[in-house]
Structure 1
Amino acid sequence: MVSTLKELIDKSFLKNKDRLFLEIKVGLKIRRYTYGEIDILSRKAARLLARKKIKKGDKVLIWGMNSPEWAIAWIACLRTGIVSVPVDFRTTIETAKKFAGQTKPKLFFVSKYLHAYEDRAIFLEDLIPALENEEIGENGDVKPNDLAEIVFTSGTTGNPKGVMLSQKNILASVLTMRANFSTSPRMRALSIMPLSHILEQVVGLLIPISNGASIAYLQRVNSATIIEGIRRHKATAIIVVPRILALMLQAVERRVEREGKTAQYKIMIAISKVIPSRKARRILFRKIHAAFGGKLDVFVCGGAPLETRIGLAWETMGFRVIQGYGSTETSGLTAINVAGPQRMEYAGKLPENAKVEISADGEVLVKGDFVSKGYWNDEEKTKVSFDRGWYKTGDMGKLDKKWLKLMGREKFRIVLSDGRKIYPEDIETKLGNHPDIKACCIVPIIRNGEKVVYASILTDKKGRIDEIIKEANKTLESAQQISYYGLWEGEDFPRTRTLKVDREAVEKIISDKNIKEKSGASSSDSLIQILSRISRIPASRINEKTNIVTGLKLDSLGRIELISQIEEEMGVVIEESKIGPQSNVAQIRKLCKAGEPYEPIKRSEWARSLPAKIARIILQSILFQYHSLFIRLKVRGKENLKKAGRPCIFYLNHIGTFDVFCALRVMSVSDKNRVIVAATSEIWRDHKIYAFWFELLVGAVPIDREGIRLRDSLEYIGEKIDEGYSLIIFPEGKVSKDGKMGEFMKGVGLIATELELEAVP
């Protein structure tokens, strides 16, 4: 039995050195790393840290998107006893500086795209090349109680709380989760939650490591890229917060609606609810499973309460939904729910190594090896939240034997549907700085099945309430944005004996009033609907002058999601570079009108099925006999075909309609069956019968030669090559009338350079 994370990692790296560990798609190519390669790279990173005089117990801040480089830096720290300070990629520089101010990091691993600490940082994007000539370092002497990381979980006002997690804390969470969540080396996890989040570290990284499983990362995260990533990487498991699970369900339902199959979908849902076999439910919803690549089996959901409706919808379609309840202070673990639809309303069942009690006032108290010892350099806050090994969660709940049920309201802390946690005091302090606000109270309310922030305002300038909130939002972080607000009726809020605002009384009054926002009827404007859905701001509060950053608070990920949904729902493509922090609704609308219409090419894979390949061999043997009667070939350099690696790119001059047959005639049978021929998509649009025979005889695929669909075509080629298919391409894109070399198409050179393939002319 291992006693530290270092031992767990060392043991797995030794056992699984030849197995695939990490992969990420960069451009058109998927970069892959085995356990053995990451083992060496992380030990080289350890050597790099040692050369920079970083020793056991020193702090290193890691700030960037999920990537193999992030994992390498973090693992290097774990194996040497260096304390990591992971920071969410979405964190502002002001907040990150507060984290750094408390922990005093001696080194920063930072994404170059954050433009932070550039004078003393190692850029994550440059880490692997920087390690190329580095010596392999030695792992440190790490003990179970050694501090592994400091994870911040608080607001931005005052001193943030840094949770101290030891090697033993995190390991206890990993081993408990692994015992309750069956995994195997065949598991392929898609990592989309920030690796700064303890749940992603435990379930999305350390559990796969412990089982020799593989993990895929995405460069961009939105509903479209997640679904495409699941399919492309053949993911079997994905760790999500409820907000992402809801977005993915919306994407499925929008597709059903677009195809005019809503009634059929509802009937299938009703039928599936009475089918006990999950395998049978998967068959019933096989088309939806196919859209996810056909391999996806399980969602692990945590970070915030899961709405029962969302969880049941996915279970009904044949997917497993596993819920995890915990917090950073408990290393992400307190209870696990693997019961599916039978106990969806419970947070989970208590594991054997967890002690949970309900205090006299109904608060959930937790004790176990996974519980933190407290907050970094903050004895006062530690004493408030920890008592003789017990952590006071602040959550209200009750126990049903070993099953924990949360009562739906938490004290003070508000957990949003995307997993981010905010503290009302933070927002109230900033609102209190506004000259027109006399007093305010922040409480959570439920809107559209999700928990959102509501601000009750006490002011003498009631006619300026909209402007006051707009001005106040400019000072708030993205998670703290106020979308729902109202005037408090009365001279003051109800208060406790210590003259503090009585939050529970305010929340009850507001809930009883059934607050109505000013949104009125939903807008029929597609763009406004998309913006409202992404920002969760009522449509009536969005106008042509609304800025997407200051008004809608869309960060970089939000803007990517906006582009994705415009493409999906409005059928136009907008370049990402054209939407910036200064863009408003009118400018985006102008871009939509100017954008090219987008209709993805419909491609089928039947031509690469076994029956089609057998038919192709038979037909080619007959066809090439007749072809040789009219065209005799003189072949030079055929021996060079064997020298080129596979897959590769075959570049052909296009001097005749049937010149692809000439190339295929000199190829081996194995090459013929592992090659795709790029052909203009116009054939599929204008000559469907010819396209059918073209696919069957030579394995042709439709490719757009220019315009916005070129990107989609290049992505498809990259996917096929990643599956082991070589490519035959005519770089000129059209038949040469005089037999001379013509100008090459856009993107031809990009294919070879991006995919790092040999070119065979």
Structure 2
Amino acid sequence: CMAGLLQDRGMEKGDRVLVWAPNSPSWVIAYLGALLGGGVAVPLDVGSTPDFAAKVATQTEPVLALLSKSILESAQGLSVPTLQVEDLPRLLYHAQRASREPQIRGQDLAEIMYTSGTTGEPKGVMLTHRNLIFNVETALQMMPVNPETTALSFIPLSHMYEQIVGLLIPLRSGASIVYLPSRQPHIVLRALRREGITAMALVPQVLQLFMSRIEREVERQGRVALWRLLHRLASRLPMRARRFLFGSVRRELGGHLQFFSCGGAYLDPSLAQKWENLGVPVLQGYGTTEATALVTGSDLRHRRLGTVGRVPKGQEVAIVPDGEILIRGENVSSGYWRNPEATKQAYRDGWYCTGDLGYLDPDGYLHFKGRKKNLIVLADGMNVYPEDIENRLNLRPEIQEAAVVGLPQKDGRVEVHAVVLAADAEGVEKAVRETNRLLAPHQQMRGFTVWPGEDFPRTHTFKVKRHEVLDMLGKEEKVGKERPEVTKKQVEVDLRDLVAQTAGVPREEIGPQSALGLDLGLDSLSIVELLCLIEEEMGIYVEEARVSPQATVGDLEAILADVERAQALTPFPQWPLGFPARAARTLLQRTLMDPLLALLCPIQARGLENLENLSGPLLFSANHTSHLDTLLVLKVLPRRYRWRLSLAAAADYWFANPLLGNLTALLINSFPMARQGNARPGMEHTVDLIDRGWSVLIFPEGTRSLSGEMQPFKPGVGLLAVELGVPVVPIHLRGVYAILPKGSRVPRRGPVEVTIGAPLRFPPGMDYVQAAQQLKREIRRLSALSGY
């Protein structure tokens, strides 16, 4: 159907289609639909600048761009017809199969992968269907993926490594893939537990982020000595025993993790060893986009820390005298899109020259030594081209000439660092700062050095000898923007303490105007780590999408204040769902609440037959005029639904007082839902309940009506109705307003009618507001069926 939809929008065989969106099932549908229809996918990273995207569009001349809503503003200058990926479920619901199924051969172009960050002329790596298939089949020799595997997608799908390891290999093996709305550890850890995740493809920085979270909790509990002792013991034990030894930690990680696949940047062997000690093997590999991601890899039986694995069958690796790694095989690209000069420079006698340095040991393991070329690879896998930054800096009047290098840090990471020749050293900081504003977040310089000599060391062709510059930097004591270690003896934990800890800068240097990316050097994954710390230390959950590298500390303080006012991190206790609470609830309802309702308001129920043929969880939706509404719905529902029913209740009303909140949780199994501000935790808890087989009752108006007439429905009910994918049962209550209206404390006796309508199903992709309006119309229609 997706291929047919693209063909209807003008795609022919060989046409290029941009895919510019975050990871999601819709991304996968768009990508595979383009390939199936004979098109050529051109994935773009969600962090790509508008200028970069425009250059890619100029080169590839796409017939269509598949974008997410969050990208629309950045894509305004593309001059390409667009389609929002969020609309795909709705469009595909009515779409027809492709009328034309082009014959696709192995040598046909499948996608053009552009490198993840250059402000110069981008280079597009051409990958064929044969390249993809060969690499997937080869990688399956090493990776233990099968139909029982549940993989969590984390790295952007615009990265070739994630496409192969996180998408195509699981699909080829019949495995399941889970996509998340956020990369925050809070969300990831919940998915590990809820979804039973067994495998993840990650870059080293994420492995470090997760390990740092674990070790912070160990330190908080005062178990550092025990933690170190267990690690010393674990290294001498078999894998099964290690998992038992660290059983509590593994349970926090879901209890099902079988392995990590890691690539894209340098992995510190000591970090890999920590995960190995926890009973989670790390399968490290090496590759390039030109090799369709994978060149070498490890499997569960053959892995050696400090190496990037062995060359699988069907691929060739050669090491030339200067140490450069050359590769050849069916997985290797034929070259760069419409760039014969770049292709000629990168390929020699059928071999692709990687520009990387390394060696093969006697056992066939590849040892990666670094980049021969100037390309800087950051810890999160992003590529930085020094020439692009140098070209910007050299335009500044304060700078005579600049050389940009990747400066190694103590923890193994690499930072972008500028070394400049300047007559006036005082103007360099301003030049670097203003140049950073013109660069993408991952390109921004984290520090600078004013070169002490009159000129850089140069070759006979006057090129800067970057290795000598790096060697000199290691000997210099004074480096611009030097960052001392952050003290861990902080008495008062506040936001700036956490920012200082994450960024590695003194607290006194952080002000309200300090930009997270520009001034403090935080990339997207560092911001995820910061938000994780905020959640742990301050108890406030902030969505990742709300905080960009361009945000300032003052912006973040305002966001925290807003979230804290609206709803701090909301706990959802599990005891109301347990058997003892359910049994007590049933007893109280039958012996106390039901008899009182029968005396107060004779009830006539209509439409119960609409529930007879339904199975599984349901979403009940009713109009709201009185506090009695919930009790009346519970009274008329069949026992099988009352037994597993939960109610979304106003957080600011019922749960402001803990005693009242616990009482309502016991009597009617309510949980808090924010009526204003951050409703996401309540929404996510609703999804969790549905996933676990519980039905949920909601009141879409959000509050009781003052007049007895229905009020506008909140769009959130439309979101739940569409995205949950379960039947929505409309309910209309009549006569309750006359018994106990809003503001009244003493009820009056009177008849009540509860009408249950036929279940509604909302198609995927339907507009949430329209879904809420349709539900309201149905409940209003039920009011006309009243018998009095």
TM-score bracket, shorter-length normalisation? 0.7 to 0.9
Paired residues for 1:189-338 under 5 Å: 189-278=151-240, 280-338=241-299
Compare 237-246 and 140-149 and name the one that shifted more.
Answer: 237-246
- Quote the residue 2:483 is aligned against: 519
Report the AA paired with residue 86 of structure 2.
E
Asked if 1:715 is matched to 2:684, the reply is: yes
Whole-Å separation in 1 of the counterparts to 2:95 and 2:33: 14
Match of 2:122 in 1: 160
For normalisation by structure 2, the TM-score amounts to 0.79
Q: Which residue number in structure 2 is paired with residue 700 of structure 1?
A: 669
**Does residue 583 of structure 2 align to residue 585 of structure 1?**
no
**Structure-2 change in CA distance of 1:699 and 1:488 (3 Å):** same
Contact 1:45 1:72 in 2 (8 A): no
Show structure 2 runs of 5+ residues with no match.
733-788
Alignment of 1:758 onto 2:729: yes
Structure 1-normalised TM-score?
0.82
Q: Which residue is equivalent to 2:419?
A: 456
Note if contact 1:703-1:710 (Cα within 8 Å) is conserved in structure 2: no
2:56 paired with 1:99? yes
Q: Deviations over 1:224-244 (max 9, x none)?
A: 333344344443222221122
Q: Sort the Cα spacing of 1:590 and 1:698 in 2 relative to 1 into closer, same or farther, 3 A.
A: closer
1:429 is the counterpart of 2:391? yes
- 2 CA distance for matches of 1:322 and 1:397? 19
Amino acid at match of 2:209: L
SS of 2:612 mapped into structure 1: helix
1:555/1:186 CA distance change after superposition, 3 Å: same
Moved more, 242-251 or 578-587: 578-587
Give the whole-Å Cα distance in 2 for the aligned partners of 1:745 and 1:59.
42
Q: Which residue of the partner structure matches residue 605 of structure 2?
A: 636
CA gap of 1:684–1:319, structure 2 versus 1, over 3 A, is: farther
Unaligned runs of 5+ residues in structure 1 are 1-40
Whether the 8 Å CA contact 1:652–1:728 is kept in 2: the answer is no
Partner of 2:81: 120
Provide the C-alpha distance between the structure 1 equivalents of 2:405 and 2:526, rounded to a whole number of angstroms: 24
Kept after mapping to 2: 8 A contact 1:483/1:538 = no
Determine the C-alpha separation between the residues in 2 that align with 1:618 and 1:475.
63
CA gap of 1:540–1:386, structure 2 versus 1, over 3 A, is farther
Q: Deviations over 1:711-745 (max 9, x none)?
A: 42332122111322112467899999x99999999
Deviates more, 1:135-144 or 1:596-605: 596-605
Which residue in 2 is equivalent to 1:80?
37
Query: What residue number does 1:25 align with?
Result: none
Matches within 5 A, 1:394-413: 394-400=355-361, 401-408=363-370, 410-413=372-375
Q: Tell me which residue corresponds to 2:514.
A: 546
Cα distance between partner residues in 2 of 1:473 and 1:321: 36
**What corresponds to 2:472 in structure 1?**
509
Paired with 1:260 and 1:699, the residues of 2 have a C-alpha distance of 40
Deviations 1:520-576, CA, capped at 9 Å, x for gaps: 353768434544566677766543333446545768887777556444433446688
Work out whether residues 322 and 340 of structure 1, in 8 Å CA contact, stay in contact via their aligned partners in 2: no
Distance 1:159 1:586 in 2: 36
Distance 1:95 1:541, change over 3 A: farther
Q: Verify the 8 A CA contact 1:519 1:541 in the aligned structure 2.
A: no
Say whether 1:414 aligns with 2:382.
no
1:704 deviation in Å? 5.3
| Kept in 2: contact 1:239–1:301 (CA 8 A) | yes
Q: 2:2 aligns with which of 34, 39, 42?
A: 42
Given candidates 376, 393, 415, the residue that maps to 2:337 is: 376
CA RMSD in angstroms, aligned pairs only? 3.9
Q: Aligned runs of 1:430-579 on 2, under 5 Å?
A: 430-447=392-409, 448-513=411-476, 517-520=481-484, 522=486, 526-532=494-500, 542-548=510-516, 550-552=518-520, 565-572=533-540
Amino acid aligned to 2:3: R
Q: Give aligned pairs, total.
A: 710
Q: CA deviation at 1:370?
A: 0.5
- Asked if 2 retains the 8 angstrom alpha-carbon contact of 1:677 and 1:698, the reply is no
Q: Distance in 2 between matches of 1:157 and 1:459?
A: 24
Q: Is the 8 A contact 2:648 2:673 kept in 1?
A: no
Q: Secondary structure of 2:113's match?
A: strand
Q: Aligned partner of 2:61: which letter? A: K
Q: Give the residue type in structure 2 aligned to 1:295.
A: H
Counterpart code for 1:281: R
Overall identity of the aligned pairs, in %: 33
Residue aligned with 1:440, SS = strand
Q: Deviations over 1:56-90 (max 9, x none)?
A: 22222221212222222211221233222111111
- Cα 1:728–1:152 shift into 2, 3 Å: closer
Q: Secondary structure at the match of 1:355?
A: strand
1:319-359 alpha-carbon deviations (Å, 9 max, x no partner): 23222210101100111123589612111111011111111
Give 1:208 deviation, angstroms: 1.6
- The yes-or-no answer on 1:600 pairing with 2:564 is no
Aligned position for 1:66 = 23
Contact 2:444/2:518 (8 A) holds in 1:
no
What displacement does 1:198 show?
0.8
Residue 638 of structure 2 corresponds to residue 674 of structure 1:
no
Distance 1:181 1:577 in 2: 33
Contact 1:572/1:596 (8 A) holds in 2: yes
Give SS of 1:636's match.
strand
Aligned to 1:724: 693
Question: Aligned equivalents of 2:584 and 2:559: distance in 1?
Answer: 51
> Is contact 1:178-1:207 (8 Å) kept?
yes
**Alpha-carbon distance in structure 2 between the residues aligned to 1:57 and 1:414:** 33
Q: CA deviation at 1:176?
A: 1.0
> Aligned letter for 1:333?
L
Query: Which aligned pairs between 1:15-54 and structure 2 lie closer than 5 A?
Result: 41-49=1-9, 52=10, 54=11
Match of 1:111 among 68, 77, 81: 68
Equivalent position of 2:619 in the other structure: 648
Q: Once the 2 structures are TM-superposed, how far is the Cα of residue 362 of structure 1 from its aligned partner?
A: 0.9
Shift of 1:596: 2.4
**Conserved 8 A contact 2:646-2:671:** no
Cα displacement string for residues 414-437 of structure 1 (whole angstroms, at most 9, x for unaligned residues): 111100112222222222222221
Whole-angstrom CA distance in 2 between matches of 1:232 and 1:706: 26
> Could you tell me which residue of structure 2 aligns to residue 32 of structure 1?
none
Moved more, 123-132 or 548-557: 548-557
Out of 257-266 and 229-238, give the one that drifted further: 257-266
Cα distance, 1:174 vs. partner?
0.5
Counterpart residue identity of residue 176, structure 1 = T
The CA deviation at 1:303 is: 1.3
Aligned to 1:449, the other structure's residue is in SS state coil
Maintained 8 Å contact 1:150/1:164: yes
Q: C-alpha offsets along residues 592-630 of structure 1, whole Å, 9 cap, x if unaligned?
A: 456627653444445546xx37x9569947984687777
Q: Which amino acid aligns with 2:391?
A: T
Q: 346-355 or 229-238, which moves further after superposition?
A: 229-238
Instruction: Please say if residues 397 and 407 of structure 1, whose CA atoms lie closer than 8 Å, have aligned partners that are also in contact.
Output: yes
SS of residue in 2 equivalent to 1:337: coil
User: 1: distance between equivalents of 2:499 and 2:267?
Assistant: 24
